[in-house]
Amino acid sequence: MSTHPFETELALYAGGDLRGWERFQTALHVRGCQSCQGKITAFRQDQEELRASVDELPAGLNFARLAAEMAANIRVGLEAGECVAPVVREPVSPIWNWKPAAAFAGLVMVFGAAWWLNMPALNIGSSEDRGPVLEASYEGVEFRENGSGLGVSSSGAEPVATSVSFGGSASARYVDGDTGQVTITTVYVQ
């Protein structure tokens, strides 16, 4: 049920007078709606208070007939009220809103597809087909492309630190053991 039941339906449900499909729908809604559960509890408390006040009625009163007449009058009044002014049901606010989740899922799919389609092909078999390769190792910094290479190294000194960035640069830092002089070699690829 996407809307709350009418108060008349809740009152009839609380008294056991709602039948068939409407009773099933109302029962299903009431299980998950605290507001409607509170209204039904109030209706049932009122019903118990009325039953407790039966002793105050005059002696010899046919209560069954009075109850039937009152129920009929209430139903006629409710039907007449709906003829005069239509009642608009208030929508139930959903517990979980699916629209932002669907939009987010769509964006994830679009970005995932774009990433997948623009991923570079990995040719593991030959280094000639991979494009430019920039590598920093203990031997120095080396640039290779199309089977040719260019390397920069410090004469015999081992690098203290090497680094490679995703921006296309590789660096090696060397320290001369005799003088303590630091040499930094950086190669950039465009």
Q: Which domains does the chain have, with CATH numbers?
A: 7-84 (1.10.10), 128-188 (no CATH)
Predicted local confidence at residue 121, as pLDDT: 65
For tokens 């090696």, the residue is 172
154 — pLDDT class (breaks 50, 70, 90): low
70-83 per-position pLDDT tens digit: 888 888 887 877 77
Q: Are 11 and 43 in contact (CB under 8 A)?
A: yes
Q: Is the pTM of this model over 0.85?
A: no
Q: How far lies 7's CA from each of 25, 31, 37, 79, in Å? A: 14, 16, 12, 13
Q: Are 58 and 66 in contact (CB under 8 A)?
A: no
pLDDT beyond 60 at 127: no
156: left (phi over 0), alpha (psi -120 to 50) or beta: left
